[in-house]
Structure 1
């Protein structure tokens, strides 16, 4: 199984996830989420396959999220508007995002990684 690993190298959570993948010998292709963010279509696909609320794809503790005042916009924005926002800037995305084309995880949680990627 080859996993696509969208990450930001300066992100501590991403580094923990990468270390976990390496330790468990999970084969992956890494993609820098800021330099090569997933497209709007890919994000829509990730959202559908993950079963998560679109809000879970946002890096709510990020500087960009706060600068844009997204906390308030999240309540009234349509799904299409939220997808457009996410696709506009890799720094707005919660990371890492992992997918094998069928399954998707957002963020790093050891328990969910064990269920999904082992």
Structure 2
């Protein structure tokens, strides 16, 4: 299964995520979302993978969020989808996902969920062996 990686070239976390995927031989397709913006349908697909909706993918610290004076509670889903499609700086980065999992931002522990189950088991066995020594 190929991981989709949405990045921005100037984002350090995006570079870390790309490097981690390469180092762990995880097949991925990278997309610079600044050069190739997301469509409203692609934003909806991301939303379906979230646990908390827009709260999971919108950067409330982004300059554009503040400039637009947004309040996530006061705006409709369709309006937010259109805003995200027009202002991609609203999205946290990187965004990694496959058919079942979504990770927003780079977290060294959480990114491991993209490792194949067999690899995760082997890594856990190594940890337990080291603890037993």
1:53: how far off? 2.4
Q: 1: distance between equivalents of 2:18 and 2:52?
A: 22
Shift of residue 67, structure 1, vs aligned partner: 1.5
After TM superposition, the score normalised by the length of structure 1 is 0.85
Within the candidate set 90, 94, 97, 1:96 is matched to 94
Give the aligned CA root-mean-square deviation in angstroms.
1.6
Q: Which has the larger radius of gyration?
A: 2
Answer yes or no: is the 8 Å Cα contact 1:35–1:90 preserved in 2: no
**Which runs of 5 or more structure 1 residues have no equivalent in the other structure?**
none
In the TM superposition, structure 1's runs of 4+ consecutive aligned residues that sit over 6 Å from their partners are: none
Deviation of 1:21 after TM superposition, in Å, equals 1.3
Which has the bigger relative contact order, CA under 8 A and spacing at least 6? 1
Number of residue pairs matched by the alignment:
115
Q: Give TM-score, length-normalised by structure 2.
A: 0.77
1:75: Cα distance to partner?
2.2
Query: Retained in 2: the 8 A contact 1:8–1:33?
Result: yes
